[in-house]
Chain A
Amino acid sequence: MAALINVPTKAKRGEIIEIRTLTSHIMETGFRHAAAGDLVPRDIITSFTCRYNGSEVFRADLFPAIAANPYLSFFTVAKESGKFEFEWIGDNGYASTASASITVE
């Protein structure tokens, strides 16, 4: 399933850039009941990490109170050309990754 990553393709060295990510996930809280009365088990993304040329620049712990299809926006300083790697980890062994490139002049 899809993830939407918004990273500027180009930036000036030292510029503060905004990174926005949106990923497909139900974020089932574990507090809801199905029509038959059974509790729907929790199924959420618990952790998000953004690495910039290998080093972590942003990380988040997510809880059931994060809305379905989690959206995150944060900032980082454009230091050098390279790659942003994004990783979402969650319940039931969920793991997904995405990446985006940036040219820093």
Chain B
Amino acid sequence: MPTTRRRFLSLAGGVTAAGTIPIVMLRPLNATPTMLNAAIRNVVGEAPIRTGKIKLDIPPLVENGNTVPMTVSVASPMTADDYVRSIHVLNEKNPQPNIGNFYLGPSSGRAQISTRIRLADSQKVVAIARLSDDTFWQIAAEIVVTLAACTEEVN
């Protein structure tokens, strides 16, 4: 089927609406699922990753990817022999897979952190908790990032 102008425009429109393809093509350095997996292995090594215990609170639809509020909490008694050592937040499609590492201890009292992150695109965000017994617990969320209707030039 020949690519008519109209067809090209509709293709281009679809790509822009999804907002993924041009960025991936223009910036080969973007974190890919492979990079995300490598970043996860960096955190957990060869240890098995379990699901449960950890909660990721992030809006499923964000108004602007530049500042996305996010809270991670882990069900833990936070006692001297049962606590969360660290929380690691990673992403799938930003130029880099790492977002932040947060180090806690028994004196934290509650295993919960909040921050604001950047998401270059609609994508998966992963949070991993490392407990004092060196087990790893993971949760992932799919986030849709609304693209701004009008953007201005960098000044």
A: residues with CB less than 8 A from B are 16-17, 29, 31-35, 52, 57-68, 70-77, 79
B103 touching A59, Cβ below 8 Å: yes
Of A17, A31, A58, A70, which contacts B102 at CB under 8 A? Answer: A58
- Of chain A, the residue at the smallest CB distance from B27 is A31
Minimum CB–CB distance for B56 against chain A, Å: 15
B154 touching A67, Cβ below 8 Å? no
**Which residues on A sit within 8 Å (CB–CB) of B100?**
60-63, 65-66
- Complex Cα spacing A6 to B58, Å: 22
Given A77-B107, A77-B108, A65-B102 contact (CB < 8 Å): no
Closest chain B residue, CB of each to CB of A49: B103
Residues on B with C-beta less than 8 A from A76 are 107-109
CA distance A60 to B115 in the complex (A): 11
Given contacts A34-B154, A61-B100, contact A67 B107 (CB under 8 A): no
Q: Which A residues touch B115, using CB under 8 A?
A: 60, 66-67, 70-73
Interface contact A75-B110, CB-CB below 8 Å? yes
CA distance A77 to B94 in the complex (A): 35
Q: Does any Cβ of A come within 8 Å of B68's Cβ?
A: yes
- A74-B108 contact in complex given A64-B95, A67-B68, C-beta closer than 8 Å: yes
Q: Which residues of B contact A17 (CB under 8 A)?
A: 109
- Chain A min CB distance to B47 (Å): 20
Given contacts A35-B155, A76-B107, 12 further A-B contacts (CB under 8 A): A65-B99, A65-B117, A66-B117, A66-B118, A67-B67, A67-B116, A67-B118, A71-B115, A73-B112, A73-B113, A74-B112, A77-B107
Task: Please give, as numbers and ranges, the residues of chain A lying within 8 Å of B109 by CB-CB distance.
Answer: 16-17, 75-77
How many A-B residue pairs lie within 8 Å, measured between CB atoms? 97
Chain A residue contacts of B59, Cβ below 8 A: none
| Residues on the B chain within 8 Å of A74, using CB | 102, 104, 108, 112-114
User: In the complex, A36→B119 CA distance in Å?
Assistant: 25
Q: Which of chain B's residues has its CB closest to A77's CB?
A: B109
Residues of A within 8 A of B112 (CB): 73-75
**Lowest 10 A-B CB distances belong to which pairs?**
A16-B109, A73-B114, A67-B116, A75-B110, A77-B109, A61-B101, A65-B99, A59-B103, A67-B67, A63-B98
CB proximity to A under 8 Å, residues B97-155: 98-105, 107-119, 153-155
> What are 12 A-B interface contacts by the 8 Å CB criterion?
A31-B95, A35-B153, A35-B154, A61-B100, A62-B100, A63-B96, A65-B99, A70-B116, A72-B114, A73-B112, A74-B113, A77-B109
